Structure 1
Amino acid sequence: MTISLRNTYTTFTAGEAEKITGVSATTQRDWRRRGFLDAPQGWARYELVDLCELLVMSALQERGIGPATSCNISAASALGLSFFVLSWVDAIDDRTNGEFEKLVRQRGEPRGRFFVQPSETEPSKYIIVWASGEVEFVKDILRAFSDLSSSPKYHGAIIVLDLEALAGLLIERAGRPFVSVELR
């Protein structure tokens, strides 16, 4: 028997986005005005991918990386972060009487795979901004730091963002699911 699912993504206001990501509504407007965020028609409404972008931009901004650079990094990481968020049970409002969970168990895949199809089998878990300014998305943090060469990327401060940890933060702060799943 084939199960057909319908997903409905939760929308959040600018005020809710501020509570979840720490980016004030004023800063959100400024970033939209300057082209770092998409400009909505009417009132700003955010879905999970938008919140992921805001949270990564905020985390990088707090570490001294401005919006011109952080908006590109956040756009590139939004699907991967969404994948990690939607892999948590609390991120999904399951209205299928257990059919969705049964499907998850049958396929043996993370829940996030049912909603987000990253280009890779498993998205990168870490964003590294090396001292040289180079940005790298990696799955294995130990492997990323195993090359102790004299490369300029190691000379100075290095920023590491853990997307799985940020996913937990988004879920905790949102206080409600990001997507509802129903049978068609």
Structure 2
Amino acid sequence: MIVKCAIDETVWTAAEAFEVTGVNPLLQRAWRNRGFLGSRRHARGLTSHDVAQLRTLKTLRDRGIDLEQAAPIADRAPDVLWFAAMHAPYRLIEPVGTLDQKAAFQIALRHAHDDVDGDLSFFQQAVAIRGRSVVRFVAAVEGEQLPVADLSTVFDSEEEEAAIILDLLVIGRRLAEQATRPLLTARITSVDGAESAARKTQPRLVVQDDS
């Protein structure tokens, strides 16, 4: 069974984003005017990527990191969203379609997330991570942000004392726990092979680009 869907990000008001990130609307506007937020902002508000960026920037600022150094790390918003979605997929990814389509989506989502042989590529596509792996740790060293596959590569270096390590998994989980609405909407476009004869095949979720 193949469930095809198009992904939309939730649009948040400044007040809603404040509830989730702790960044008040005035500060949100100031950071955007200074170029410290991306260009994904929706005409009616902020996207979930914006919210993930705000949450990351707030975490860095709370640790005393200046905005110029924090902004490149906040560009890892897709990774933060990935960890959030993986933490609570059934609450944070909302299917839209008929009852049968939504039931098929939940079956495929459960397989992708919970089963050992589940295909996690759906989650990467849903948060716009393409052509690379998900990054958990980011090291900020001398104004640059570097993805870190092995923390020992930082702690064994001469720059250990100057390095700031950020765990995007922790930020993503906190975002998931505080999100008051789904982060993503999955508009189901089709369900192929849902007949009883085809149910022996593994269910799969496919993200369609409807741009």
Q: TM-score by structure 2 length?
A: 0.70
Alpha-carbon distance change, 179 to 133 in structure 1, aligned in 2, over 3 angstroms: closer
Which one-letter code corresponds to 2:51 in the other structure? L
CA contact (8 A) 2:79 2:129 kept: yes
Q: Residue 37 of structure 1 aligns to a residue in which SS?
A: coil
For 2:43 and 2:27, locate their aligned partners in 1 and report how far apart those are by CA, in whole Å: 17
Alpha-carbon distance change, 146 to 37 in structure 1, aligned in 2, over 3 angstroms: closer
Which one-letter code corresponds to 2:77 in the other structure? A
Residues paired across the two proteins, number: 176
Alpha-carbon distance change, 178 to 17 in structure 1, aligned in 2, over 3 angstroms: same
Deviation at 1:122, TM superposition (A): 2.9
Deviation at 1:134, TM superposition (A): 4.5
**1:86 counterpart = 2:80:** no
User: For residue 69 of structure 1, what is the aligned residue in structure 2?
Assistant: 69
Structure 1 runs of 4+ aligned residues shifted over 6 Å read: none
**1:138 counterpart = 2:148:** yes
Which one-letter code corresponds to 1:139 in the other structure? A
Q: How does 1:1-184 map to 2 (within 5 A)?
A: 2-38=2-38, 45-75=45-75, 77-87=76-86, 88-89=88-89, 90-95=91-96, 96-104=101-109, 105=111, 108-110=118-120, 112-119=123-130, 121-130=132-141, 132-141=142-151, 143-145=152-154, 147=156, 149=157, 151=158, 153-156=159-162, 158-184=163-189
Q: Residue 165 of structure 2 aligns to a residue in which SS?
A: strand
Deviation at 1:178, TM superposition (A): 0.8
CA contact (8 A) 2:78 2:127 kept: yes
Q: Residue 144 of structure 1 aligns to a residue in which SS?
A: helix
- Unaligned runs of 5+ residues in structure 1 are none
RMSD between superposed Cα atoms in Å: 2.6
Alpha-carbon distance change, 36 to 146 in structure 1, aligned in 2, over 3 angstroms: closer
CA contact (8 A) 1:52 1:82 kept: yes
Task: Return 97-106 or 58-67, whichever deviates more.
Answer: 97-106
CA contact (8 A) 2:8 2:185 kept: yes
Q: Deviations over 1:117-158 (max 9, x none)?
A: 42455311012224x5543212343x33562x5x1x1235x4
Alpha-carbon distance change, 183 to 120 in structure 1, aligned in 2, over 3 angstroms: closer
Deviation at 1:9, TM superposition (A): 2.1
Q: Residue 57 of structure 1 aligns to a residue in which SS?
A: helix
CA contact (8 A) 1:82 1:112 kept: no
For 2:188 and 2:145, locate their aligned partners in 1 and report how far apart those are by CA, in whole Å: 41
Q: TM-score by structure 1 length?
A: 0.79
CA contact (8 A) 1:86 1:115 kept: no
Which one-letter code corresponds to 2:145 in the other structure? V
Q: Report the identity percentage.
A: 26
